[in-house]
Structure 1
Amino acid sequence: MPLLSFSRRFLIFSTVIPFLASIALYRLDTFDPALLPPNALDYSTTSLPPLSNDKLLTGAELIGVGLLNSPEDIAYHRESNFIYTGCVDGWVKRVKVTESVNDSVVEDWVNTGGRPLGVAFGLHGEVIVADAYKGLLNISGDGKKTELLTDEADGVKFKLADAVAVADNGVLYFTDASYKYNMRQFAFDILEGKPHGRLMSFDPTTRTTRVLLKDLYFANGVSKSPDQTHLIFCQTPMRRCSKYYINEERVEVFTQGLPGYPDNIRFDGEGHYWIAMPSGVTVLWKLAFRYPFLRKLTAIAANYGLDPLIFMANAGVLGVDLDGKPIALYHDHKLSHMTTGVKIGRYLYCGSLLHSHIVRLDLLKYPAQKRL
């Protein structure tokens, strides 16, 4: 009998009490995820491109191994043949583009003191940086001068300045992924499933910051169209990129139902946009986005040390034409956190939120093939 009584007490303390404590913790936690719009939960295969390379890491070369700490965005300066990229340690670094990755030289260029994400080039040789903590920066004089252009709009401070593009008239277009969560907390914005993002412009002549669109779901990459009439911008959890017509101030879908969650988008000057996707659509992501309580459990676990982005896998880069039609997908089931794809010549250069290098793939040697 004493042994039986001990077993019962042990059962209560080891199962029932932790279960009740978990329920109490769930109810007391104030994190309140929302249902996503129905079109974000549409997982049809109509957006899959006819061409695919599902082994991106096979044949891929690594640039700047150990010297590039999470190079999130990549911008290529054709005149100097330099790649500029922002790293998690605050450095904007330069990498000389060479035929052999062994000849690549990584240079510490400017440290913003924040977290540089989006990188673009101004009209007069300056480098424009969307810094997650600082705001929109202008770096000029070959790195000798750093100027804050803007860090708020309509009285609301940026929490996560993300991507930036420069128009031919000098106007800067950029995103603030979330006005609620900062870079360290960005996973909670996605888990919450509420629209905290904005698309904005900054006119360097008038020094005016305008909110073009608000209530966006984690507003991410932005690119100017080649004819300068519209922007393409991404909303990560929606798996969608949209057009914003500048003069008409209207929005329409560019491409949606993507096979992954879009980050940065880059135009290659050859008729294609390249959309980086840090993760493909996995079973766990499907379940999490469909059921808010699963996202709440994930957020609670994240407060106790669990990586909230454990669902990420099968990252890649999708090439689409000027009408948003998917053309080719380069991805790998072993890859995650890929944030940028930039085509330079015959190579695809890829940035990341996780790795300490840039991935380069020769598109001629390792092309996307027709799907079986």
Structure 2
Amino acid sequence: MPLLISSRFLFFSTIVLLVSIALYRLDTFDPAHLPPDSLVSYTSSIPPLLNDQFLTGAEFIGVGLLNSPEDIAYHQDSGLIYTGCVDGWVKRVSVYDSANDSVIEDWVNTGGRPLGIAFGIHGEVIVADAYKGLLNISGDGKKTELLTEEAEGVRFKLTDAVVVADNGVMYFTDASYKYSLHQFSFDILEGKPNGRLMSFDPTTRVTRVLLRDLYFANGVSMSPDQTHIIFCETPIRRCSKYYINGGRVEVFIDGLPGYPDNIRYDGDGHYWIAMPSRVTTLWKLTMKYPFLRKLTAMVAKYGYEPMIMEDAGVMQVDLDGNPIAYYHDRRHTHVTTGVKIGNYLYCGSLLHSHIMRLDLLKYHAHKKL
């Protein structure tokens, strides 16, 4: 009997193995090797100050009323926070001393998925909608205009983040011209540069491709002197500078401990880089080997997401990209934006139904022991 069981086990194991090999070879998903330097972690990207219990002391705003508030934009004159949710709503949030007193307003529904949010020079709200393109919402929400949805004859598949210069020109990313938002994990697993950095001039109505062949082009932020843009490439854990005059590109910070999403300037000499997950051992191995990414993608096609995200956080860096402080927590995931407003850090999310707020004076980062 033991021999019979062993024979059956061996037979079925062989069948499963052969079928798996056949499916692997027949699957057309074709991951590429990532740049070698993107797989390295640098001690220079680790800040001297650390708060590794990010959730301790955190408050939650709009619980149950904000469905995956991915980006956050603060309108200083009105004191309102604008955020885009997965149900298509751009919502306005009135925040008070007590998070429980916050008022959530359904403002405008784009009919798509609003991600990046910025303010135009005439009070408009500019939205990078993943499915619609770049939108202009004006007249206190009464008018929504499509500004652009393609460049060089190629439609945007995943309009992601946007920032507006003092002269009104908008700089934004199309994270992928190949995969849409609900397929974004395939873009990252594929390991090919399908992203673009672009500009839209509202005066000439011209959309320009500034950079192409970017690895999941994500968050963008304007430098305080208006000379360059900082943009993030998520899978290669790098943020770079793009100089507006001349188009020169240089690394701002790389080898990040997590995968960068949005980057925000706080008006006080610092950028805040949100990272939905740190580089776990599983992530490190998978990103290194294309065959593992192919297996992961094959599993994901059946609705199972094997790449677990953990230890999300936000890093504070100076104008030269030098790390200052890192706020993170192993228990937290999917932090997509960090915006400093007064003494508070407000965090958006791709998963949770609230905005998280942390008092930076009470729960500040400390020097590492």
TM-score under structure 2 length normalisation: 0.98
CA-CA distance at 1:7 after TM superposition: 2.6
Aligned with residue 70 of structure 2, among 69, 72, 77: 72
User: Helix, strand or coil for the counterpart of 2:43?
Assistant: coil
Q: For residue 163 of structure 2, what is the amino acid of its counterpart?
A: A
Q: Does 1:338 align with 2:330?
A: no
CA-CA distance at 1:44 after TM superposition = 2.5
**Residue in 1 aligned with 2:164?**
166
Q: Does 1:320 align with 2:304?
A: no
Spell out, residue by residue over 1:21-42, the C-alpha distance to the aligned partner (whole angstroms, 9 max, x if none). Answer: 1111111111011100011011
Paired amino acid for 1:80: S
2:17 corresponds, among 13, 16, 19, to: 19
2:222 is matched with 224
- Alignment partner, residue 364 of structure 2: 367
Q: Is 1:40 matched with 2:38? A: yes
After superposition, give the CA deviation of every residue in 1:51-74 in whole Å (9 maximum; x if it has no partner).
Answer: 000000010000000000000000
Q: Report which stretch shifted further, 163-172 or 16-25.
A: 16-25
The AA in structure 2 aligned to 1:33 is P
> Is the contact between residue 42 and residue 256 of structure 2 (CA under 8 Å) also seen in structure 1?
no
Match of 2:133 in 1: 135
1:257-306, CA deviations, whole angstroms, 9 ceiling, x for partnerless residues?
A: 11111000000000000000011111111101111111111000001121
Alignment partner for residue 348 of structure 2, among 340, 348, 351?
A: 351
Q: CA deviation at 1:6?
A: 5.0
| 2: CA distance, partners of 1:256 / 1:359 | 26
Q: How does 1:276-295 map to 2 (within 5 A)?
A: 276-295=274-293
Whole-Å separation in 2 of the counterparts to 1:344 and 1:10: 65
Q: Give the corresponding residue for 2:194.
A: 196
| AA of the residue aligned to 1:24 | A
The letter of the residue matching 2:153 is G
SS at match of 1:107: strand
Partners of 1:178 and 1:77 in 2: CA distance: 29
CA distance in 1: counterparts of 2:116 and 2:24, whole angstroms: 36
For residues 351 and 339 of structure 1, what CA distance do their matches in structure 2 show? 5
Q: CA RMSD in A?
A: 1.1
SS of the counterpart of 2:362? coil
Look up the SS of the partner of 2:325 in the other structure. strand
Aligned-pair distance for 1:204?
A: 0.2
Cα pair distance change 1:368/1:5, threshold 3 Å: closer
Q: What amino acid sits opposite 2:65 in the alignment?
A: L
Query: What is the identity percentage for the equivalent residue pairs of Structure 1 and Structure 2?
Result: 76
* Secondary structure, aligned partner of 2:33: coil
Spell out the pairing of 1:35-184 with structure 2 (5 A cutoff).
35-184=33-182
Take 2:172 and 2:67, find their aligned partners in 1: how far apart are those partners?
A: 23
TM-score, length basis structure 1: 0.97
How do 1:256-295 residues align onto structure 2 when only pairs under 5 Å count?
A: 256-295=254-293
1:148-175 alpha-carbon deviations (Å, 9 max, x no partner): 0000000000000000000000000000
Query: 4+ residue runs of structure 1 moved beyond 4 angstroms?
Result: 3-6
- In 2, Cα distance between equivalents of 1:96 and 1:14: 61
* Residue equivalent to 2:5: 7
Separation in structure 1 between the aligned mates of residue 2 and residue 261 of structure 2, nearest angstrom: 57
Instruction: Supply the distance in 2 between the matched residues of 1:230 and 1:156 (Cα, whole angstroms).
Output: 25
SS of equivalent residue, structure 1 residue 311: coil
Q: Is there any run of 5+ residues in structure 2 with no aligned partner, and where?
A: none
**Cα distance in 2, alignment partners of residues 38 and 12 from structure 1:** 39
Cα offset, 1:352, TM superposition: 0.4
Letter of the 1:331 partner, please give it: H
Q: Tell me the distance in 1 between the aligned counterparts of 2:51 and 2:5.
A: 56
Which residue of structure 1 aligns with residue 235 of structure 2? 237
Once the two structures are superposed, residues 68-100 of structure 1 have per-residue CA deviations (whole angstroms, 9 ceiling, x without a partner) of 000000000011111000000000001002111
User: 1:247 is paired with a residue of what secondary structure?
Assistant: coil
Give 1:112 shift: 0.4
Is 1:212 matched with 2:210?
A: yes
Equivalent of 1:254, from 215, 230, 252? 252
SS in structure 2 at match of 1:355: coil
Which residue type is aligned with residue 209 of structure 1?
T
